[in-house]
C-alpha cells in the first residue's frame, strides 16, 4: 500500500478585536448612507451573510478614517508576524514537534506586502533552522490555502522524510477603503474577517498519524481576470467581486468534481465530507446545488463562516481544523477540500481520513 503525504495537525489564531455582524451593519450604514442612494437595498447583505462574529487587528473606529497603503502594510507586517507565530507555537505544542524538526516553510497571503516576506520574519521569531527551505506564495486570494497544501504535497512527494510548516495569514479588514462606495466594498464589509492558520504536513517516511492527501487538482478559467481580486491603488487594495461568482460555481463545480474523482477511480457517492471554502452564503448555496448534496454536507464550512467570516486563504484551513477536531479518523473515509480564487481558478485536494 502506498502511503501519501499527510496533514498531521492544524492550529489557528485570530486578532484581538471582535466585531458582531449587527455592529458591522450599523458601521456600514453610517459610512455609506450619505453616498449610496440604494444603501437600504444593500444592508440585508449583512443579515443574509450567515455570519455572527468576525475578528480584526484594529478596532472598528479605525475603519472610519482613510489610511495610506504604507500604514496599512506596516500594520499587516506586524500583526501577520504575531498571528502566524501564535498559530505556529500552538501547532508545535499540539503536534509535539520542535523548530528543528521543520524542513520547509510555505507562507500564503494576499492582503499585505513584505520583502523580506513574512516567512523570513517567522523563521527568526520561531527559531527555525538556518537551512530551512522557504516559499512565499502571494496573490491567490481565497484559493491560497488549498494551493499551499498542494505545493506542500508536491514538495513532500519528493522529500518523503521531511516535515512542512504551512502558514496562511490574511488581514482582509486592512484592505477596507472608506471612500470606496462600490458594491464590492459593501460585500467585503459584510463578509471579510481576519485570521491565521498553521498546518503541519509530513512525508510518508515520517512516523505519525494524519489525513493522507491522495491527489490534488488545479483548474484555471481563461479570460476571467475580472471575476475576483484586488486593484492596487494609492489608497490601498480595492476589492473586486463579480456577481458572476455563484453562477460560475453552479456551472463548473459539479463537472470539475466528477472529473477529479474519475481521475482517482472514485465517484461522488464515495465522498463523505465536503470541505469547501465558505466564500459566502451565495457561494455555499451554489455549491450545494451544483454538487447535489444536502445542507449537512457543507455544515462545517457554514459553521466557520458563521464564527469567523471569510478570511480569504486561511478560511479553508479553519474548516480542516474543525473537521479534524470533530470527525474521528478511520483511514477509510474520503473528503474533498476545494476553494476558488483570483485568476479565476479553483484548487482542490482529495483526503483519506
DSSP line for 136-203:
EEES-GGGHHHHHHHHHHHHHHH-TT-EEEEEEEEEGGGG--TT--SHHHHHHHHHB-EEEEEEEEE-
Q: What is the mean pLDDT of residues 193-199?
A: 97
Calculate the average pLDDT of the chain.
Answer: 91
Q: What does each C-alpha distance from 150 to 27, 137, 349 come to in angstroms?
A: 38, 12, 7
Residue 196 pLDDT exceeds 80? yes
Q: Is-contact 217 104, C-beta < 8 A?
A: no
Start and end residues for every CATH 3.40.47.10 domain found in the chain: 6-202, 211-352
pLDDT of residue 185: 85
**Residues 268-303: pLDDT tens digits?**
999 999 999 998 898 898 889 888 898 888 999 999
Q: Which residues are catalytic?
A: 142
CATH 3.10.150.10 describes domain 211-352: no
pLDDT of residue 231: 80
2 DSSP assignment: P
Phi and psi of 167, rounded to 5°?
A: -125, 130
**Residues 79-120: pLDDT tens digits?**
999 999 999 999 999 999 999 999 999 999 999 999 999 999
6-202 CATH choice from 3.30.420.40, 1.10.10.10, 3.40.47.10, 3.40.50.150:
3.40.47.10
Residue 1 pLDDT exceeds 60? no
Interatomic CA distance for residues 20 and 91, integer angstroms: 28
Q: What is the mean pLDDT of residues 325-335?
A: 86
Q: Is-contact 194 12, C-beta < 8 A?
A: no
Q: Which residue has the higher pLDDT, 221 or 174?
A: 174
Locus of grid cell 480584526:
56
Greatest C-alpha distance within the chain = 65
Kindly state the cell numbers that stand for 13.
Answer: 489564531
CB under 8 Å to 313, separation ≥6 — which residues?
108, 109, 110, 140, 141, 142, 143, 144, 145, 147, 148, 168, 170, 339, 341
Q: Quickly state the pLDDT bin for 2 (edges 50, 70, 90).
A: low
Round the CA-based radius of gyration of the chain to a whole number and report it: 19
Interatomic CA distance for residues 35 and 132, integer angstroms: 51
Amino acid at each position: 500500500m502506498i502511503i501519501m503525504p499527510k496533514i498531521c495537525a492544524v492550529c489557528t489564531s485570530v486578532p484581538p478585536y471582535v466585531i458582531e455582524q449587527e455592529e458591522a451593519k450599523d458601521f456600514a450604514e453610517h459610512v455609506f448612507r450619505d453616498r449610496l442612494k440604494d444603501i437600504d437595498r444593500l444592508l440585508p447583505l449583512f443579515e443574509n451573510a450567515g455570519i455572527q462574529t468576525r475578528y480584526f487587528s484594529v478596532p472598528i473606529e479605525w475603519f472610519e478614517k482613510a489610511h495610506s497603503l504604507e500604514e496599512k502594510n506596516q500594520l499587516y507586517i506586524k500583526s501577520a508576524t504575531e498571528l502566524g507565530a501564535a498559530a505556529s507555537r500552538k501547532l508545535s505544542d499540539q503536534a509535539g514537534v520542535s523548530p528543528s524538526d521543520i524542513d520547509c516553510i510555505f507562507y500564503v497571503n494576499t492582503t499585505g506586502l513584505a520583502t523580506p516576506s513574512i516567512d523570513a520574519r517567522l523563521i527568526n521569531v520561531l527559531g527555525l533552522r538556518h537551512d530551512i527551505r522557504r516559499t512565499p506564495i502571494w496573490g491567490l486570494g481565497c484559493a491560497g490555502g488549498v494551493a499551499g497544501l498542494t505545493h506542500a504535497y508536491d514538495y513532500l512527494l519528493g522529500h518523503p522524510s521531511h516535515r512542512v510548516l504551512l502558514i496562511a495569514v490574511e488581514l482582509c479588514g486592512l484592505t477596507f477603503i472608506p471612500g470606496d462606495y462600490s458594491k464590492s466594498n459593501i460585500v467585503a464589509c459584510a463578509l471579510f474577517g481576519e485570521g491565521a492558520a498553521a498546518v503541519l504536513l509530513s512525508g510518508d517516511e515520517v512516523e505519525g498519524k494524519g489525513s493522507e492527501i491522495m491527489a490534488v487538482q488545479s483548474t484555471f478559467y481563461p479570460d476571467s481576470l475580472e471575476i475576483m481580486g484586488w486593484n492596487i491603488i494609492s489608497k490601498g487594495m480595492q476589492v473586486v467581486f463579480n456577481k458572476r461568482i455563484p453562477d460560475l460555481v453552479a456551472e463548473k463545480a459539479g463537472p470539475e468534481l466528477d472529473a477529479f474523482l474519475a481521475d482517482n477511480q472514485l465517484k461522488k457517492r464515495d465522498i463523505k465530507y465536503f470541505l469547501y471554502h465558505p466564500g459566502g452564503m451565495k457561494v455555499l448555496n451554489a455549491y450545494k446545488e451544483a454538487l447535489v448534496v444536502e445542507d449537512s454536507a457543507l455544515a462545517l464550512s457554514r459553521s466557520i463562516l458563521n464564527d469567523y467570516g471569510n478570511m480569504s486563504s486561511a478560511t479553508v484551513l479553519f474548516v480542516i481544523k474543525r473537521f479534524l477536531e470533530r470527525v474521528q479518523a478511520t483511514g477509510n473515509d474520503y473528503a474533498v477540500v476545494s476553494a476558488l480564487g483570483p485568476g479565476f481558478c479553483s484548487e482542490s485536494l482529495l483526503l483519506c481520513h
